[in-house]
Each structure stands twice: as structure tokens, then as C-alpha cells.
Amino acid sequence: MNTIPIRSIEPSFVAEADSPRPRLVPPQRGRGRTPDNRLRRRRIRLLRLGAPILVFAIFSCPGLTDRTLTSITPRALEDIKSMDLALLEYRFTPDTQSLETVEERCKALLDSGLPNREYRAEVLGLMGTALFYKGDAENASRTAALIDRESQAEPRLYTIRALLARDRDKKIKILTDGLDKVERTGLVHLALAELWFDAGEYRKALAAFDQAFLALPPRYRELYRPRRDMAFQFMDNPPGNADTREILAKPEITVGDVIVLTARETRYFESVTSDPNLPAPSLYALLLAKGYLREGGPSPVDPMPRKDIAYLLVRVLAFLENDPGLLARYGGSASLTAASPVPDIQPTDYFYNAALVLVEREIMSLPDGKNFFPGKAMSGADYYAILKKLKSLYR
């Protein structure tokens, strides 16, 4: 007997091999539940249950926020990045015009209608930071309140509030609380690192710097690397002198700070005095009499600009190398007609020779790669880094 292939006609019909014609087969228990039907129904149920779960997962997932689901123009993104870097550069090379530019561009972006709250909060954060750097604390505080209404996940909400707070412990608490609310933690960790460093908590500062460097653009690492490395050096061997610790924490150091720190941490003033613990006014008078400081220059309580730091240090170098010729290496009548290799200093400047010698020796730097910024003040940590460099060259 020939075998007739079994072929499905409908879900409840099959042809049997030993029957002269197809025979109706009673459906399985449960109306219409053939294996194919059961599988189809199960898939439908799963889709009905799964769709709401999928939608919920998309909108509750931290990685898929309003920021990532809404597009923004490439030009706006580029503006945000460039303003962030402009504010970073301002910390090291202050330029009030750059703050005006950041503020204007922020206003233009906000007026153009940003697509979501997170981008608006980020732009407001840039503007609030620029306002604080300009000295407008009142409007910086108002901007922080606007950020709070837009998004509590914006890192600059907490860095601005920390800048506005007067007490260091309060600043640290603001930033620590902020770490629990932000996803992009780099700026918050960086602000904490600076506070821990200034407080002498070098191990905590080192950890915070390293956390920040993982999340921030490379330019942040380039500029903050010296302070991070200093935290590493101080971690197990902190400065023992109370004057040194206090000066290191200052964002701008005075003439008195410079000469006290140099006297306490080196022996470079041995030709001037045998007592490194003299108070700043006494050291100032002795150094002025010996020509280390310039007549008519800033007083012990005035900020010491880079040009006068260079003037002092080139005389230290001449003493260390026993080479008075260093004081006139780039001097003479020929130099007065030559073009300066550094755009913002000229051969007629009293510090011209000093600046070129120190830059040539890589003891002082050109902060932006081309300019010396002679009138800019220096932080205690930055000046200490110069002393460390000198000490590595002249034991």
C-alpha cells in the first residue's frame, strides 16, 4: 500500500495515510489549541507584556536619558565643548575677554532653543561659572537656581554652589552630595581634588584627581598633572613647615609668600642671609638691597606677577651657577632691534632677559605655548612646582 504524505489543510484538519479521503480529526482539548496555535498565542501574550516593559526600560535606563534621545546640532555641541575648554584655560591664564565670549555664546544658545532640559542645564552651568569668575556672585547664584530647575544631574550645579560657599567643609559636602546625583562626575571630582589638596589631604586629593582624569578631556590632565603629581609626592611626605602648607593653598601668592617659601624650602638665599626663618619684611629688605628684587616693584603684601618672579629667579640661577653673565644673556644693543621670540614680551622690558633664560631652561613655561603672560599672578602650588624643578637641577 502506498503511503500518502500527511499535509496540514487547516489547523484542525490532517490527512491520514490509510483513509481513502481526508478525515476530520477532533480538535485537542482547549478550543483550537494545536501546537502552532499555542506557540502563536504565547508570542502574542509575550509581546503584550513585553512592550510596556521595554518602553519603561528605555526611559528609566540611566544611559538613555533625555540627553541621548534628543538630538542637538553639531555646531551647538562644538560650542559647548569649546566654552568648557575656555573656562578651563581661564583658570591658568586669566583673560576677562574669554569670559565675556563664553557668556555671550551661552545666551545665544539658550535663545536659539535647546532641545531638552539637560543641554539647557549644561549651558547654564557654563554661563554661571563664567559669571562667578567675573566676580558676579549674585547672578552666578541665580543661574545655579535655574540649573536646579532644569536638571539636578548637571555637574556644574554643584561646582558653582561650592565656589559660592565660604566654608571649606561646606564646599566639600556640596560636592560629595553632588556625586550621588550626577552621571558625569569628572568636574565634581576635580573640584574635590583641589579642595582636598588645599586642605593637606593629599591621599584623598590624589584619588580624586585620578577619578577626574578618567572622565575629563585630555587638556584637563595636561594642566592639572603637576598638582596631581605634587599630591602624590606629598602623600607620604607632606610639607612639614606650616608656612609652606599655608602658601601652597593660595590661588595667588604675594611677594612675601614667594620669598618666604623660597627661603624655607631651599638654600638659595644663603648669599643674602644665614637665617631662613626671617619674617617676610626682613627678607624683603635684604633681597632688595642685594638686587634680587626690583626697586619700585611690588611690596611684600602685593601679588607677585610672573615677570617679577622671573626677575628674582634669574638672579638665583646666576648665584647657583656662579655666572653673572646670565643676567645679560639676551641683553645689549643688538637685542633691542631684534624681534622677540615671545609675542607678549619685548627686548625693552626689564624682565625680558630673565623670562627668556627661564623659558629656555624649562624652569618657567609659556602657559598657552606661545605667550609668557608677564602680568599674571601665580598660585602657591605652581610656584612650588617651579622650586621643585630648580631643586631637581641644582642639588
Block residue for cell numbers 532644569: 150
Cα atoms in the 13 Å half-sphere on the side-chain side of 201: 14
pLDDT at 19 over 50: no
pLDDT at 381 over 90: no
Backbone angles phi, psi at 330, to 5 degrees: -110, 35
pLDDT at 51 over 60: no
Block residue for cell numbers 613647615: 241
Q: For a pLDDT cut of 70, what percent of the chain falls above it? A: 79
- Supply 300's cell numbers: 611684600
Spatial neighbors of 47 by CB under 8 A, at least 6 apart, are none
Block residue for cell numbers 607677585: 304
Among 149-153, 209-213, 376-380, the minimum mean pLDDT is found in 376-380
pLDDT on residue 159: 97
Bigger pLDDT: 176 vs 25 = 176
Among 32-41, 55-64, 79-88, 355-364, the minimum mean pLDDT is found in 55-64
Please report, to the nearest 10 degrees, the dihedral formed by the alpha carbons of residues 197, 363, 219, 89 taken in order.
Answer: 80
pLDDT on residue 92: 81
Q: Judge whether 236 and 361 are in contact, CB under 8 Å.
A: no
Q: How far apart are CA 157 and CA 124, in angstroms?
A: 9
Nearest to 312 by CA among 277, 249, 248, 261: 261
pLDDT at 156 over 50: yes
Q: Best-predicted range by mean pLDDT among 109-113, 159-163, 244-248?
A: 159-163
Mean pLDDT across 156-177: 96
Mean pLDDT across 103-124: 89
pLDDT on residue 71: 58
> 3-state secondary structure string, the chain?
CCCCCCCECCCCEECCCCCCCCEECCCCCCCCCCHHHHHHHHHHHHHHHHHHHHHHHHHHCCCCCHHHHCCCCHHHHHHHHHHHHHHHHHHHCCCHHHHHHHHHHHHHHHHHCCCCHHHHHHHHHHHHHHHHHCCCHHHHHHHHHHHHHHCCCCHHHHHHHHHHCCCHHHHHHHHHHHHCCCCCCHHHHHHHHHHHHHCCCHHHHHHHHHHHHHHCCHHHHHHHHHHHHHHHHHHCCCCCCHHHHHHHCCCCCEHHHHHHHHHHHCCCCCCCCCCCCCCHHHHHHHHHHCCCCCCCCCCCCCECCHHHHHHHHHHHHHHHHCCHHHHHCCCCHHHHHCCCCCCCCCCCCCCHHHHHHHHHCCCCCCCCCCCCCCCCCCCHHHHHHHHHHHHHHCC
pLDDT at 3 over 60: no
Reported as a pLDDT band with limits 50, 70 and 90, residue 182 is very high
Cα atoms in the 13 Å half-sphere on the side-chain side of 48: 6
Gyration radius of the chain over CA positions: 34
pLDDT on residue 237: 73
What pTM was estimated for this model as a whole?
0.60
pLDDT on residue 10: 39
pLDDT at 1 over 60: no
Q: Which domains does the chain have, with CATH numbers?
A: 73-235 (1.25.40.10), 244-393 (no CATH)
| pLDDT single digits (tens) 292-325 | 999 999 999 999 999 999 999 999 999 999 999 9
Nearest to 178 by CA among 204, 152, 198: 152
pLDDT on residue 342: 93
pLDDT on residue 2: 45
Mean pLDDT across 63-86: 72
pLDDT at 4 over 50: no
Block residue for cell numbers 627678607: 283
Maximum pairwise Cα distance, the chain: 128
Q: How far apart are CA 257 and CA 387, in angstroms?
A: 13
The CA–CA distances, whole Å, from 330 to 231, 349, 391 equal: 36, 11, 24
| pLDDT single digits (tens) 246-301 | 788 788 899 999 999 999 888 999 889 999 889 999 999 999 999 999 999 999 99
Average pLDDT of every residue of the chain:
82
| pLDDT single digits (tens) 212-233 | 999 999 999 998 988 898 888 8
Q: For a pLDDT cut of 90, what percent of the chain falls above it? A: 55
pLDDT on residue 249: 76
pLDDT on residue 44: 55
| pLDDT single digits (tens) 232-250 | 888 877 876 767 877 887 8
- Supply 188's cell numbers: 565634581
pLDDT at 200 over 80: yes
